[in-house]
Amino acid sequence: MNDERPSILFVCVHNAGRSQMAAGFARELGGERVQVLSAGSEPADRINPVAVEAMAEVGIDITGTQPRVLAVDDVRASDVVITMGCGDACPVFPGKRYEDWELTDPAGRPLEQVRPIRDEIRGRVEALLEGLRG
C-alpha cells in the first residue's frame, strides 16, 4: 500500500469466519497503526452469522464486511500475509512475511464452539500487532 503503515492481509477459504474475525480484531486493536485486508480463495455469499454474533459479544461489529475474492494485488500490497486453511491458493511474493495459522473453521458450528476460536484469533492478532511495533 502507499503509506508507511504496515498492511496485513488475512486469508481463509470462504472469507466468512476466521479471516473476518481476525481482520475485525486487527482493525479494532491496531487502529490507525495498520492497514487491514481480508479475502478468500473461494468466498462465501455472506459472513458467517455466528462469527458476527461471537464478535459482537466482544464489542466488535463485522456486519458491514462482505466476503471477497483474493486478488494477487492484495498480496502484493501487503507486508504480512496470514493464511488460515487456504493451502496453496495464496500467491507467494519474495520479501513478504507469511504465517499460516492453523485454526478450526467456525463454519456450521454453534456459538459455544466459535467463542474459543474467536479468542484464539484475538490472541494471535494481539501478538502479531505487538510484533509489528517498531
Compute the distance between CA of residue 40 and CA of residue 47 in angstroms, rounded to an integer.
11
pTM of the predicted model, to two decimals?
0.93
pLDDT of residue 91: 67
Which among 90, 114, 117, 128 is annotated as catalytic? 90
Is 127 catalytic? The answer is no
Q: Please confirm, yes or no, whether 86 is among the known catalytic residues.
A: yes
User: Considering the domain boundaries, does residue 2 fall inside one?
Assistant: no
**What's the number of domains the chain is made of?**
1
In a domain, 1, yes or no: no
Tell whether 96 is covered by a domain: yes
Residue 22 lies inside a defined structural domain of this protein: yes
The pLDDT score that the predictor gives to residue 1 is 43
45-99 tens-digit pLDDT = 999 999 999 999 999 999 999 999 999 899 889 999 999 976 666 667 778 899 9
pLDDT for res 87: 64
Told to judge if 12 belongs to the known catalytic residues of this protein, a careful annotator would answer: yes
**φ and ψ at 13, to 5 degrees?**
-60, -55
Task: Give the domain range for residue 24.
Answer: 7-129
Neighbours of 132 (CB within 10 A): 17
Q: Which position among 86, 103, 125, 128 bears the catalytic label?
A: 86
Choice among 12, 26, 81, 121 that is catalytic = 12
